[in-house]
Structure 1
């Protein structure tokens, strides 16, 4: 198991990474930001019920907040035989105590958090774990510039939630966005809180149509989009 990240705890017990100089979620409300930026902008509630299996990829697992909120909403809409597979790329998986402290503001996630943490010994070494029937979580642990190109899976939707591009540029680079597109199902989507111009250009160069829209809680803009069809890429 890798060494947990060194964290500082700021006002209202917000986890902060001194290495990357950034917080792990929004000051406004990380759970609501997750819903607005990642779940709704990828249209997860509708899309994940259209097929027996749906796959979400994420860059930056962090506290697990995005996974847990997605799982909470998926429980409400899932069909009997449907499966959600959530794969997250993470360099430093947190320790159990760090996750518990970071997620304390959201009691509606406590049950799911505890179910996840019951399997944390396996999850934190990279095992794919079916936490409850139909929900599979796996961490791809290590440098994402190496682990994503080597990944054998494909995603229907991506949550791009690494630390801010200015603070962690490697997680948003052109080569990584190309690898992201190569591991996206046709017409797969992405969403991210950032609207940085160079990130947008990297996504477009990788084959994504990119849309900018109003950001969460007063943030001016965010981005979402869809992988172009093969015939569009060849135009």
Structure 2
């Protein structure tokens, strides 16, 4: 296996856009607030990881690493955080490390950024500098924070990677590009594969409230709640798992 070429990112006034999907990786403004509101709060964090030995987050769509870095920074700031944070993210088209760093620096200088959190983002991203250039197709492991933060980057097709990763998730961030431009990330097959990694009590969160996505969650037996979003997003979804799916479901 070889290191895949970085996915090109087009920058327009500090807003990163995917050429492949013609969609933005994140908003220019309120990006940190959106990450915290949609994904962390949507999954009940930081409260749910407190006083636990380990907590595992599964993400579809690593992108520029915004959710990982925001979660890591929030974990660092929480004196009651779990001992070990496992963050597993699936990404078919990894960007360059330079684009990850550029994104964090743009966030750190944004006028509406939460200053303490935003200032940490480039510093945390720098810790990926040695790991990122060597990523290959498949599961890539990166140990951070003296081993207390474990990043597993799953590089490849989302279904194949979900089938390859053997773990269970306490929280799931669904952050692929819009269902309109990247339908495979939101297909019944993909969400069904995500469900195989959920246990009773797992919480999922996403920015999209597309009707077909809500319907697929409901068909899986999950409880779906539409909640107020952070501008420019009007709404977001919180999803609760009451009953785990077995591999034969």
TM above 0.5, yes or no, is yes
* Cα displacement (A) at 1:51: 1.5
Residue in 2 aligned with 1:151?
Answer: 165
Pairing 1:132–2:145 present: yes
RMSD over aligned CA atoms reads: 1.8
Compare 123-132 and 20-29 and name the one that shifted more: 123-132
Alignment of 1:10-159 (within 5 A): 10-11=12-13, 13-79=14-80, 82-107=83-108, 108=119, 109-123=121-135, 126-133=139-146, 134-159=148-173
* Cα displacement (A) at 1:213: 0.7
Residue in 2 aligned with 1:178?
Answer: 192
Per-residue Cα deviation, 1:28-73 (whole angstroms, up to 9, x for no partner): 3211110110011111211111320000000100111110011001
Distance 1:135 1:58 in 2: 15
* Cα displacement (A) at 1:208: 1.4
- How many pairs does the alignment contain? 230
Per the alignment, in what secondary structure is the counterpart of residue 46 of structure 2? helix
Give the gaps of 5 or more residues in structure 2: 109-118
Contact 1:122 1:129 in 2 (8 A): no
2:233 maps to which of 219, 227, 232: 219
Q: 1:112 to 1:151 in 2, by over 3 A?
A: same
Contact 2:200 2:241 in 1 (8 A): yes
> Following superposition, which runs of at least 4 residues in structure 1 exceed 4 angstroms of deviation?
78-81, 122-125
* Cα displacement (A) at 1:218: 4.3
* Cα displacement (A) at 1:142: 0.4
Distance 2:35 2:88 in 1: 16
* Cα displacement (A) at 1:122: 4.5
* Cα displacement (A) at 1:154: 1.2
Contact 1:191 1:223 in 2 (8 A): yes
* TM-score of the superposed pair, with normalisation by structure 1: 0.92
Distance 2:81 2:75 in 1: 12
Compare 124-133 and 45-54 and name the one that shifted more: 124-133
Distance 1:218 1:5 in 2: 26
* TM-score of the superposed pair, with normalisation by structure 2: 0.87
Contact 1:208 1:225 in 2 (8 A): yes
2:178 maps to which of 139, 164, 174: 164
Contact 2:51 2:82 in 1 (8 A): no
* Cα displacement (A) at 1:225: 1.3
* Cα displacement (A) at 1:76: 1.5
* Cα displacement (A) at 1:27: 3.1
Q: 1:186 to 1:19 in 2, by over 3 A?
A: same
